[in-house]
Amino acid sequence: MKKILIPTSLVALFGLLGLASCQKVDDPLVPRVQSPVLVLIEGAPYQSDFSSEPTVNQLAAGPVTLSARILELDKTNLLNAKGIDSIPVPNLKITVALRSGTVLGEATTDAKGRISLTKTWAELGVAAPRAGSSASLNWTGTHKNVTFTRLSRVQAR
């Protein structure tokens, strides 16, 4: 029977490689912070508002109404029969902008947490709107020192 001898330098090398492979690496994805509010885009089809980018259909021939409702979720009764409360957030400043960074306007929520802006298709960057034309929007605000952004899209029909 032969004995196989492994040089100690080779054992040390494998040991160092093993330790080096256990280092903590930062996540390459963008870290996300939970939004302090729920931004419901009004006019989006039912249940699609919970998707990452709800789409609202507007007539190509007229002005475009952009509206949303801002709610704060109260989870204190989550384990009781009452569940989660949706509380409107009044007096919250929201900036609506195109994804290119062009600001379309700012609005402040009313007592029911609603905001609304009326724009033309040209202001949305669509010179000649026709069925299928669309503009991508950002709804941005700050609540309880946390900045949030909600994505949406408006499409001509």
How is the chain split into domains, by residue range?
38-156
Q: How many whole angstroms separate alpha carbon 67 and alpha carbon 43?
A: 8
- Classify domain 38-156 at the CATH topology level: Immunoglobulin-like (2.60.40)
Return the SS3 of 146. Answer: strand
Among 14-28, 33-47, 98-112, the range scoring the smallest mean pLDDT is 14-28
What HEC string does 58-121 produce? ECCCCCEEEEEEEEEEECCCCCCCCCCEEEECCCCEEEEEECCCCEEEEEECCCCCEEEEEECC
At residue 11, the pLDDT reads 73
At residue 130, φ and ψ (nearest 5 deg) are -145, 170
Mean pLDDT of 5-16: 71
- pLDDT, one tens digit per residue, over 45-76 is 876 556 578 999 999 988 999 999 999 987 77
At residue 13, the pLDDT reads 73
Indicate the pTM of the whole model. 0.73
